[in-house]
Structure 1
Amino acid sequence: MTLVRIAATLGLMVLAGSASAQTPSTIQVIGVENEYADVIRQVGGKAVHVEAILTDPNTDPHTFEASPKLAMAFSQAQLVVENGVGYDSWADKLMAASPNAERQVLNVQKLLNLPDDIENPHLWYDPKTMPVVAMAVADALAKLQPSEAATFHANAEAFVASLKPWMDSIAAFKAKYPDTPVATTEPVADYLLKAMGCKLMTPQTLEKAVMDGTDPAPQDITIQNELFSNHKVKIFVYNQQVTDALTTSFLDAAQKAGVPVVGVYETMPTPGYTYQSWMQAEVEALTKAVADKTSTLSLQK
């Protein structure tokens, strides 16, 4: 499941982002990951038609199959928001094959001034990410439709303000449950866990091996299993989208040891969530895991 390979295992769903009829002035936008598409919709409102590419919370988003239909969508897009860090490099290849001098591209990695060798590409779990994305989207849309600039920037500010309950929940967890020891399968939610003040106990080399689809070192597997059997962690954070025999064995070990499990996702669970409510639900699930040892394996409604 390397971050750059193109494989034929992901069920592709390209979803329209607006139920209203499009007009000639509607801005055509692609949010490669549906969490970014959701933010674009909130900032752009009726002025944008948004397509999300990675939308299925039941499949591995690290693998992807391009299609002629998708290439056409990229060729017509006036704005594209992609994650970067190699996570969706196939999008760059499609755009290179379909040149469009007027197309704007927002690469979240570059917006955050992150280096190419950053180990964790799941940038949307970092509480600092989406405020930057929302403001950059507003600026980009304003260039495409100057008459609506004030609306775009007001929407972006409203979006940032709407994140406050999530930020407050993060701060509350950090204050009440400092240094909570946590095990993971891979670094999907690590940015959020660190913001919440959790202590990440799983070896980083194991996380990376699982993320990259390589075999972890035997000693790392032993360490991980002992986190459960010796009750060294209070939560097991399990990536619901990338599972195999090894991660399933960790899940079994956690459940056998009575360690509550919280499922996390790389693709926003839909329908039923916005970015804000998704992130809030993850924090609430983590809080329940510590407060009353309740597992939340799935957030899908």
Structure 2
Amino acid sequence: MRLSPKFRTTTAIAAVSVVAAFALTACGSSSSKDEGITVVASTNVWGNVAQAVAGDTLTVTSIINEPSADPHSFETTPAQAAKITDASLVVYNGGGYDQFITDVLDAGKGNQKTVNAYNLFDGGIHANETTGASHDGHTHGSVNEHVWFDIPTVDAVAHSVADQLSALDPENAATYEANAQAYSQKLAGITTITDSIAAAHAGTGVAQTEPIAHYLLVATELEDVTPEEFTSAIEDGNDPSPAAIAATRELLTDKKARALVYNVQTQDKVTQDMRSTAEKAGIPIVEVTETLPEGLDYIQWQTQTAESLANALSAQ
């Protein structure tokens, strides 16, 4: 997801030079009650996953909590950069999604431990290592970077966080491992829902305004019938071509798509028009977001999203 000032309702937080941050001392990172361990996550999505593993032993600090902040273009304040630089463990998405983390880690040349979710995707086929600062070679569009919708990757992140915290805090290793195992069981509940969707609706066409929920559609064996030219343009903050707009609108008016997966955090005139077209055609809307909705943890959020998709497909 990339925002365009011309069309987007969201705005990136004002940029402040990362380099200036390294003259500051560490400020405000939450720490382990016993060991002074500090854990920082790029967004509240990965912060919530890490917090589930950390439990009551420590508190995880998330740099991005606001829906108005775009991780693609986000630039840290000096205080935020200092938190990242001084953290014992940094948990982030990778794949070019939250590049600000990689920029700070590379500039700081620290030796903190990291967990890069994108590097853990599909068994780590993209990986360098999950310890030490990693370097992302992501080419935009080659692989979908929104891996928080891929449940096996989230599970791998939880267990990697447990491994890293256990290395930092051996006395509490059993707690971290137990928390990760319990989290796996909760994630399995989401997989149960996606498996049931696949069993009932495999091959069914759906449309998206952006390829945010790509891995949810993969898990449910649904077919994203949206023209790639449309979703790529929207994700990059550009105008889709008139032909791509017309083709996407036709999918909805002709009911070739059974649902419209709609990113409510980054709306513009084109996506709002598609939503209106879908509603007029009686096509259900499945709302998705990129950060945690207020009052929900990751498990609740993804459970509700999967259930919303199941209900949308069953309503017709």
Fold shared, TM-score > 0.5 on shorter chain: yes
Alpha-carbon offset, residue 286 of structure 1: 0.9
The answer as to whether partners of 1:182 and 1:233 remain within 8 angstroms in 2 is yes
Tell me the distance in 2 between the aligned counterparts of 1:107 and 1:80.
8
The code of the aligned residue for 2:12 comes to L
Alignment counterpart, residue 65 of structure 2, candidates 55, 61, 69: 55
Aligned-residue Cα RMSD (Å) equals: 2.2
Task: Give 3-state SS (helix, strand or coil) of 2:212's partner.
Answer: coil
Q: Please state if 1:82 is matched with 2:92.
A: yes
Asked if residue 132 in structure 1 is aligned to residue 142 in structure 2, the reply is no
- Structure 1-normalised TM-score? 0.87
TM-superposed deviation, 1:11 = 5.1
Secondary structure at the counterpart of residue 160 of structure 1: helix
Q: What is the aligned partner in structure 2 of residue 257 from structure 1?
A: 281
Provide the C-alpha distance between the structure 1 equivalents of 2:256 and 2:278, rounded to a whole number of angstroms: 11
Which AA in structure 2 matches 1:258? G
**SS of residue in 1 equivalent to 2:211:** coil
Q: Output the CA distance in 2 between the equivalents of 1:203 and 1:76.
A: 44
Alignment of structure 1 residues 15-26 onto 2, 5 Å? 23=33, 25-26=35-36
Q: Contact 1:59 / 1:241 at 8 angstroms: preserved in 2?
A: no
Identity of aligned residues (%): 35
Residue 275 of structure 1 corresponds to which residue in structure 2?
298
Q: Any unmatched runs of 5+ in structure 2?
A: 4-9, 15-27, 127-137
Match in the other structure for 1:44: 54
C-alpha deviation, 1:217, in angstroms: 2.6
Q: Which runs of 4+ in 1 moved over 6 A?
A: none
Matched residue, 2:228? 204
* C-alpha displacement of 1:58: 5.1
In the alignment, the residues of structure 1 paired with residue 29 and residue 44 of structure 2 have an alpha-carbon distance, to the nearest angstrom, of 10
2:201 to 177, 182, 185: 177
Local SS of the residue matching 2:194:
helix
What SS class does the counterpart of residue 215 from structure 2 fall into? helix
> 2:225 corresponds to which letter in structure 1?
M
Q: Which residue of 1 aligns with 2:268?
A: 244
Q: Does 43-52 or 76-85 show the bigger shift?
A: 43-52
Q: With structure 2 as the length reference, what TM-score do the two structures score?
A: 0.83
Q: Which runs of 5+ in 1 are unaligned?
A: 294-301
Secondary structure of 1:47's match?
coil
Q: Secondary structure at the match of 1:105?
A: strand
2: CA distance, partners of 1:90 / 1:58:
16
**What is the match of residue 298 of structure 1?**
none
Q: Distance between the aligned counterparts of 1:164 and 1:127, measured in 2?
A: 8
Pick closer, same or farther for the CA change 1:225–1:52 going to 2, 3 Å. same
Tell me if structure 2 keeps the 8 A contact 1:34–1:53. Answer: yes
